[in-house]
Amino acid sequence: MPYNTINPVVFIDALAEWIEAERDAIRDVSLFSGGWEVWATTQFPLWLKSQFQNQEELDASTHVDIVPGANVPIYENPAKNADLVFNALSPIGAAVPPVMVVELKCQTPRQRWADFRCRLTENLSKLHSTNPDLRERFADRGAIGLSVGISSNDPDLTPALGHRVRRVDLAIHWWADTEM
């Protein structure tokens, strides 16, 4: 079955477009108790799928502990889940981008910057604990860990360790591990 796939650069660009398109919903949902990460990990892939011109499924899975279609645990600790996994179901081919394991954090208006920044740093630790079998299983195309955070767009905030920042209505903090 053919799938729509996405590479890391397009992922960040698409996330910026989604934030612009869904800014009112994001503002409203971010106020709910418990945050908006779970909502974002579901809504973003649905929106992304709608952006493709064809009817093929998007090669994306949410809240998974085993790489879809590969039966390989994502993390050394099998109790840990990845927020999003892209490109794992697509057959091997020249145009298939690397498998992407994405850990997402979304700041709420009530959350202090220091606490959010700490949670982004925790993403790095989690991504560094990926199962070595994941690398072996996808050696033909590679696997990338992506730490992504969406926060308020305060220009005075210091980025989290190793993260780059792209500013739209909100700030997108991202870090990629190509050595996963």
Average pLDDT, the chain: 90
Domains identified in the chain, total number: 1
Structural domain of 167? 3-177
**37-53: per-residue pLDDT in tens?**
999 999 999 999 999 98
**33-91: per-residue pLDDT in tens?**
788 999 999 999 999 999 998 878 999 999 999 998 888 999 999 899 999 999 999 88
Q: Which residue reads 């994502």 in tokens?
A: 74
